[in-house]
Amino acid sequence: MGKWSARGLRGATTVDRNDSAEILEATRELLSQLVSENSIDTEDIAAAFFTVTADLNAEFPATAAREFMGWNHVPMLCGNEIDIPGRLGKCIRVMVIVNTDKSQQELKHIYLKGATVLRKDLLPQ
């Protein structure tokens, strides 16, 4: 076991429509995989930051974290991603700060659906 540190864990996914249920389900899927792949205990989460592209405003992604993941005491913040023309749309991004003894190289960042184009270097080979 290594030394415990705060580490950033990234993930992103996309939806087809600006729809509350679709945003909640996509966020739940993303967070579930982040937690599972990295063996995260909710008590080890220091904070979570969500962004959505300008074309998504039907729901807060943090709602999915509270309702489906039980992150009721995790500090969370939602915001808009910078709206750069021609970039990936309908995208939900998250950075979860976790206390862990894993190295940065051991963490598994999760990119789903259309978001796989964002960080191909972090996808499983």
- Residues 113-121: what's their mean pLDDT? 86
Which residue in 7, 59, 91, 93 is the catalytic one?
Answer: 93
Measure the CA–CA gap between 65 and 84, rounded to whole angstroms.
Answer: 27
Annotated catalytic residue 66: yes
Residue showing tokens 């190289």: 105
pLDDT of residue 125: 57
Task: Supply the range of the domain harboring residue 106.
Answer: 5-116
Examine residue 35 and state whether it is found in any structural domain, yes or no: yes
Does residue 84 lie within any of the structural domains?
A: yes
Concerning whether 111 is annotated as a catalytic residue, the answer is: yes
Q: Is 93 one of the catalytic residues?
A: yes
Question: Using a CB cutoff of 8 Å and minimum separation of 24, what contacts does 63-67 make?
Answer: 63/24, 63/27, 64/23, 64/24, 64/25, 64/27, 64/28, 64/31, 65/27, 65/31, 67/24
Whether 124 is covered by a domain: the verdict is no
Active site residue 7: no
Residue 123 covered by a domain: no
Name the domain count of the chain. Answer: 1
pTM listed for this prediction? 0.93
Residue 32 maps to which CATH number? 3.30.1330.40
Distance (Å, rounded) from C-alpha 75 to C-alpha 77? 7
91 noted as active-site residue: no
Is 119 one of the catalytic residues?
A: yes
Residue 101 included in any domain: yes
Mean pLDDT in the chain?
94
From 78, 87, 91, 106, active-site residue: 78
